[in-house]
Amino acid sequence: MNTDELTTLTSNKIVDARGTACPGPLLAAKKAIGEINSGEIMEIYSSDEGTKNDIPRWCQKMSHEFLGIVEEPSYSRLFLRKA
């Protein structure tokens, strides 16, 4: 999805992992994904550059659908749909 499409999404869950370093955002995502249902959308805030590579790979492994990234001035918003 492109940025415009992503920003119109309403997330069922927002995980704010800004400020934490590896493996913080990944562990936060893992914890939070258990709290939503299949097909729901989760959004992860991260200021850690590596997360942008890590979360898509993690989604692939866990068969969640990675939807895309929206860049904000000091952090990124990563969207995914739970499998």
Question: What does the binding site for other proteins look like in residue numbers (CB under 8 A)?
Answer: 19-24, 26-27, 29-30, 58, 61-62
22 noted as active-site residue: yes
How far apart are the C-alpha atoms of 48 and 60, rounded to whole Å? 20
In the complex with other proteins, the residue whose CB is nearer, 10 or 74, is 74
Contact 42, 36 (CB under 8 A): yes
Cβ 4 to other proteins, closest distance in Å? 31
Q: Smallest distance, Å, CB 71 to other proteins?
A: 21
Q: Please give the Cα distance from 46 to 26 (Å, whole number).
A: 10
- DSSP states along 53-71: HHHHHHHHHHTPEEEEEEE
Q: Which of 14, 22, 27, 62 is catalytic?
A: 22
Cβ closest to other proteins, residue 14 vs residue 21: 21
Task: List the catalytic residues.
Answer: 22
